[in-house]
Amino acid sequence: MLKALLRQAEVPHKDTEGDIRALYALAATNLNLSPKGESLESYLKAILQGLTGQISGLYDLANKASDRHARRYNPRRHHAQLAVNVAFTLCEFLLASFEYQRTLKEKISNG
């Protein structure tokens, strides 16, 4: 999903990149979702920092508990459900942010 979003936004990235932390960093920068933004309220900065932490957690879960690598951890059903719900929420937010930014650019270019 992150690669598809970056392609849509025409953001250069390595198509072979598998680190979702790096892909999210590119997407977040492009969508103005950096928690370092000076015009952001403190509560928004905290939420955006939390998203970065969630991405990192999903990355670690995929590496330690998925079937794509040697499994070091066997997640319980409620852990898997949490990961799926976090991933869904992140995707939904990123898509909404992408649409918002695209609409904003169109309004600016149309004057």
Cβ distance 27 to 101 under 8 Å? no
**Alpha helix positions (H), the chain:** 2-8, 20-30, 42-65, 77-110
Is the model's pLDDT at 90 over the cut of 70? yes
Question: What is the distance between the alpha carbons of residues 101 and 81, in angstroms, rounded to a whole number?
Answer: 30
Is 30 in contact with 11 (CB distance < 8 Å)? yes
pLDDT at residue 111 in the model: 72
Query: For residue 66, is pLDDT > 80?
Result: no
CA 89 to the chain's CA centroid: 10
Is residue 61 within 8 Å of 75, Cβ to Cβ? yes
Domain that holds residue 39: 2-110
Q: How many domains does the chain have?
A: 1
pLDDT tens figures, 39-59? 888 999 999 999 999 999 999
